[in-house]
Structure 1
Amino acid sequence: MIILAGWLFARFLSVPLIYAYHTHVPEYLPRYKLGFLAPATWWAMRLFHCAAELTLVTSTVMRDALQQNKMTGSDEDLDVWKKGICCETFHPRFASAEARRRLLAGRSEGPLLLSVGRLGWEKNLHSLKAIVDAIPGCRLAFVGDGPARSSLEAHFAGAPVAFLGLLQGETLAAAYASADVFVMPSESETLGFVVLEAMASGTPVVAVRAGGIPDIITRPGETGILYEPGDVQAATAGVKRLLEDVAFRDRVARAAREEVSLWDWRAATQYLLREQYPAAMAANARRRAQAGG
């Protein structure tokens, strides 16, 4: 309904219409046993996005997927919106013993992994149990909530895993900065903001090579560790290396922090205003001229 309302207002006011594509719905449908709806979903998405002057996506992978499925009227109507974060909001200085104790949830000290985000079926979070089981003394903390929480709690029953629910503000920033390794097993991220936040916090990331994540970790082995979808052994090896080689972990953390500074929100906003908005206005002017002719 929001998409329809936006389309109606844009046409009524004769102003450019820009859509921002954040959730790759066709990818999620099979995970909720709704894969049969994918063709209809693509059709509906094409209907609305072809009516827009510009569709902004969060990564080159998403851009390529939408181009392949002819989502917009032309490839020129599709562009990457390089999102930004505040590198002062998420910073290594927020690390604290108190935050670490919260993540450990009363358990003794040990290697501490962190996952932040929606606890959804599409996030592939159940796969993290194999990593926890393979590393002696390993602990894992989930920050976030969602429909798969009860299933995850049952799946991890008896394991050294804590479910902390939603955290915000400095409490969330402290959680990021106080873990040893951030793990990201989701294969369906259009970007992966939590990966950016972890990198800004000085916590090295082990993530699946899928979705928009390779656009963030552009130098695997230097700014983070990527593994192929489904390769839990490689994921475990990556986590182990970061935990066991402190010098390597520190190098990755520093390089990741430097890399993520390129994702500053000010630069992202300036590009949007300087390049993408004018392109949408020019496309709208052409559309109106053609309609008038």
Structure 2
Amino acid sequence: SRDTARSLQALGVDCPMAVVGRGVDVECFHPKHASAQLRRQWGADEQTAVLLYVGRLSPEKEVQVIINAFSALQQSSRQKTLLVIVGDGPEREKLQRLSGSAVVFTGSLSGARLSEAYASADVFVFASQVETFGNVVLEAMASGLPVLAYDNACAQQHVRHQQSGWLCGLGNSAEFLRLMRALPQRSVLKRMGLGAREDIQDIGWQYPVQQFEQALYSAAGAIL
């Protein structure tokens, strides 16, 4: 990321640098994989806005912040909401115990089941502040989900605030809570999700390959 490049420069690395980004499989992660049957299994109907988190369940991911914000959202929202957490890790048992039956935990998913989970939700919520990149943000956007995340790493590069999602200042958990409590109706989330998909549909895996090739050509040109 650009932040990594700046950090290296600050440490005194003064050789030429090129930022090679990340890509996403825009066919594997696509709105077409949405499943009404899966939503019913989760306990969501057509009026339910499904919030989704995907990632490791460990302290640095701050999943507890999402659960706390979701509890506040349930008390204030006029629409039905559901939180689905995909992933596993050392905090899973603790998080399940604290959230009770109000949150759906699926465990780790991969392949078609993961694609289906992304596309069947309505908004992606991501409270981690320690990402080097965070490719799950790209996967969510490719699946047609707006993203609520901190203004950092992948979200900083690709999410347009109040257009394809919402960006919160690093360290401002109160702002994260406020933004989550203010999530719009499902119809608005769907419209924003389509915009998110459009923003990144050209960032397939060929994109970073081309960036890397260009970096090699530049390095070779400097040597020659």
- What band does the TM-score fall into relative to the shorter chain? 0.7 to 0.9
| Equivalent position SS for 2:104 | strand
Q: Is 1:262 aligned with 2:205?
A: no
Partner of 2:211 in structure 1?
271
Corresponding residue to 1:118 among 56, 60, 63: 56
The unaligned stretches of length 5 or more in structure 1 are 1-58, 287-293
Amino acid at match of 1:214: Q
In the alignment, what sits opposite 2:77?
Answer: none
Percent identical: 35
Q: 1:194 aligns with which of 136, 141, 153?
A: 136
Contact 2:24 2:205 in 1 (8 A): yes
**Could you tell me how far apart the structure 1 residues matched to 2:85 and 2:157 are?**
24
Structure 2 counterpart of 1:97: 36
Does the aligned pair in 2 maintain the 1:209–1:227 contact within 8 Å?
Answer: yes
After TM superposition, the score normalised by the length of structure 2 is: 0.86
Q: Which residue of 1 aligns with 2:94?
A: 151
Gaps of 5+ in 2: 75-79
Does 1:220 pair with 2:158?
A: no
Residue in structure 2 matched with residue 87 of structure 1 by the alignment: 26
Secondary structure of the equivalent of 1:80? coil
Matched, 1:64 2:1: no
Provide the rounded CA distance (Å) in 2 between the counterparts of 1:66 and 1:98. Answer: 48
**Which structure has the larger Rg?**
1
Alpha carbons 1:62, 1:212 under 8 Å: kept: no
Match of 1:244 among 185, 188, 194: 185
Q: Which residue of 2 aligns with 1:39?
A: none
Moved >6 Å (runs of 4+): none
Contact 1:122 1:188 in 2 (8 A): yes
Q: Post-superposition shift, 1:204? A: 1.1
C-alpha contact (below 8 Å) 2:131/2:153 kept by paired residues: yes
Cα 1:187/1:75, change in 2 over 3 Å: farther
CA contact (8 A) 2:125 2:148 kept: yes
Task: Give the distance between the partners of 1:253 and 1:139, measured in 2 at CA.
Answer: 17
Do structure 1's residue 140 and structure 2's residue 79 form an aligned pair?
A: no
Corresponding residue number in structure 1 for 2:104:
162
Structure 1 position 234 matched with structure 2 position 172: no
Q: How many residues align?
A: 217
Cα distance change on mapping 1:108 and 1:246 into 2, 3 Å: closer
Distance in 2 (alpha carbons) for counterparts of 1:154 and 1:282: 58
The aligned runs of 1:271-290 (5 Å cut-off) are: 271-273=211-213, 275-281=214-220
Distance in 2 separating the partners of 1:167 and 1:123: 17
Give the C-alpha shift of residue 81 in structure 1.
1.0
What letter corresponds to residue 10 of structure 2 in structure 1?
Q
Task: Return the alpha-carbon distance in structure 1 between the equivalents of residues 7 and 157 of structure 2.
Answer: 14
Query: TM-score w.r.t. structure 1 length?
Result: 0.67
**SS of residue paired to 2:200:** helix
Distance 1:186 1:159 in 2: 23
- How far did 1:194 drift? 0.5
* Structure 1 residue 167, shift from structure 2 partner: 0.9
Shift of 1:101: 3.1
Taking only aligned residues, the RMSD between alpha carbons, in angstroms, comes to 2.2
1:108/1:258 Cα in 2 relative to 1: closer, same or farther (>3 Å)?
Answer: closer
Change (3 A) 1:129 1:267: closer
Spell out, residue by residue over 1:218-238, the C-alpha distance to the aligned partner (whole angstroms, 9 max, x if none).
Answer: x21112111123434433443
Question: Does 2:174 match 1:174?
Answer: no
